[in-house]
Chain A
Amino acid sequence: MKNGLCLLILVFATPSLWAREGDSSYGGPAQWTEFREYVVQQQEENERVGLGYMISGAVAAVGGGIGYYQSEEVFSRTIFAITSNVGLIAVGWGATQYWTSNELDTFFYAIEGSSLSAAEKNEVLQRYLYKERKENERRRWIRVATHALIAVANLYSASQEQNSEIRSVFYFLGGANTLLAISYSF
């Protein structure tokens, strides 16, 4: 049981927890009209998601607080305390999504309101998307390399470890990171 807890802490501590949500998901052509449509849709989606986070966060914060004082078991109290805190964080995150813009919105705002012609907007968009896709690709390969390195380090540690329980933890982490490296490589 102790190993299970250690394993989870190790997985939580793994550097792979970088979020994927920062990646641009616009995969369309470098045409300003289509890009505008996409950004407007994304803004609506962000508002919807933001509202969902604010409501569910508030429910979690209040429910977690009530649950914490109502429950007697240490596990329940711990989870309720986490729930309450995560709820408050989610309210903040939801508000950010709802009321503030991201990098893509800022770029859209800057170009949309400019005096550039349609052809010039398309050209700027093309350069922006080219740069962004290149950086996403680079980020992906850094992830692959990081997980591959962690996998190799853990598999090596497993091969040297005498204690069978610790060895299985290393094998587990090695296998998990191998899978992650493979998944990021596609």
Chain B
Amino acid sequence: MFLRVLILLLFFCALAHGETLPATLRDGSTRFLSRSLGSACYTLDSVERGLPCNPAAIAKARRPRFDVDLFMGSRMEYLKDAEEILRGESNQEAVARFFSNRESIEADFSIEASFQAATWGVSFEPYRLVAVSRFENPALPMVDLVIAEEQSMKGQIASYVEDNLYVGLQVRYTHVRFIGQYFALSEAFAGDSERLFATQTQELIYLEPGFLYSWEEATWQPQISGMLAHWGVSSHKTEQYPIQPEVLLGASVKPTAPLGLLELGLQLQVHAQTENAREAARAAVAYRLGILHAVASVSERDHAAGFLISYKSFTGGLSYWTEKENRGVFMQLGATL
């Protein structure tokens, strides 16, 4: 009897609770950059894929470039099942397979094309699939699940203002169709999957201004950056895709290296839920030599390391990302024309 009451209580909780998609996954930055450098990509600009994270950096672009990037996590079977669930094409077997992996998972698949010239850039992400699941309470497993399919467009415009100051603005539009639920695992197999896996749609428009102050003539080329991210409007309020503005402040230097280009950066990411400076801080390093771009970043929550190999027009690489209960390997393939 007690168990039934408990399940009933949990069912009502499910109506009111759902996972907020982590800010990294709601971020508008090119996926490899945001996965490997995290928030530090708003300051570090030596690794170039797609549009820069900070729109002000586009004013530093020296020549036009066109990038196409394919980014995917290693858990493709999991993502394939997630896509079927989202599209309502899954059967009991697929649902069972999807939930058989009782660990926290963040998976991501994205294809993006971007074009940038000096002072402006546009980017189009026609397809992105994100799946995040977290399991709680092994005795009576509860699942916090978000599966989302997104289409996004963004535009950046920037200009040199004066005395090494660059300012820019990013306008980002995202259409998302998603499932966001918190439920007892037993419910997923109870045959009421239509209600459980009901999809919602949401439209989001973000206006994200940023600046860079860069001492380019100095030996180590120090720069400081600032950005207001995730500031915008939504078609309606949801827990999975909240409008939760963040202030990003960072600094970076490029110490002289005998060969190649080394860049070190520190970033602070502050939002309404930030409790202390340690939680907000992130340190990152990037090194580029010939075909090799190596990046690493660390914060209190997670750390990541990755590399890109760029030869002529082609780029490929891996990114290893780890947090307390979760880890992932992400692959990047791209072409630059």
Residues of A within 8 A of B (CB): 1, 3-5, 7-8, 11-12, 14, 16-17, 19, 21, 48-49, 51-57, 59-60, 73, 75-76, 78-80, 82-83, 86-87, 89-90, 93-94, 168, 172, 175-176, 179-180, 183, 186
Contact = CB atoms under 8 A, between A and B. Distances in A.
B268 interface: no
Given A54-B290, A55-B259, A175-B124, 7 more contacts: A1-B79, A52-B259, A60-B292, A76-B74, A90-B290, A172-B124, A183-B64
B337 A19 contact: no
Interface string B115-148: 1010000101011010000000000000000000
27 contacts: A4-B127, A5-B70, A7-B111, A8-B111, A8-B335, A14-B337, A19-B313, A52-B260, A53-B290, A55-B290, A57-B290, A59-B292, A60-B309, A75-B74, A75-B329, A75-B331, A78-B331, A82-B316, A83-B309, A87-B309, A90-B290, A176-B68, A176-B113, A176-B115, A179-B66, A183-B117, A186-B64
B313 A17 contact: yes
A42 to B, nearest CB: 17
Report the 3 A-B pairs with minimum CB-CB distance, sorted nearest first. Answer: A56-B290, A52-B290, A4-B111
Interface string B290-316: 111000000000000001010111101
B169 interface: no
Interface in B71-97: 72, 74, 76, 79-80, 83
A56 B261 CA distance: 12
Contacts of B79: 1
A140 to B, nearest CB: 13
A51 B258 CA distance: 12
Nearest to B70: A8
B23 interface: no
Contacts of B333: 8
Contacts of B129: 1
A179 B115 contact: yes
Nearest to B113: A176
A180 B316 contact: no
Contacts of B313: 17, 19
Contacts of B64: 183, 186
A6 B289 CA distance: 31
Given A7-B111, A52-B259, A168-B126, A176 B316 contact: no
B241 interface: no
Contacts of A5: 70
Contacts of A82: 309, 316
Contact of B316 (A79, A93, A175, A183): A79
Given A8-B68, A52-B290, A73 B111 contact: no
B318 interface: yes
Given A5-B70, A82-B309, A172-B126, A49 B115 contact: no
B155 interface: no
A48 B257 CA distance: 13
A17 B309 contact: no
Contacts of B126: 168, 172
A45 to B, nearest CB: 13
B42 interface: no
B317 interface: yes
A57 B289 CA distance: 9
A60 B289 CA distance: 11
Contact of A60 (B66, B76, B291): B291
Contacts of A93: 311
B7 to A, nearest CB: 35
Given A1-B109, A11-B335, A183-B115, A19 B68 contact: no
B66 A52 contact: no
Given A1-B129, A76-B318, A17 B291 contact: no
Contacts of A53: 290-291
B121 to A, nearest CB: 11
A5 B314 CA distance: 15
B337 A12 contact: no
A92 to B, nearest CB: 11
A60 B310 CA distance: 11
Given A83-B309, A180-B337, A75 B72 contact: yes
A56 B291 CA distance: 6
A79 B115 CA distance: 25
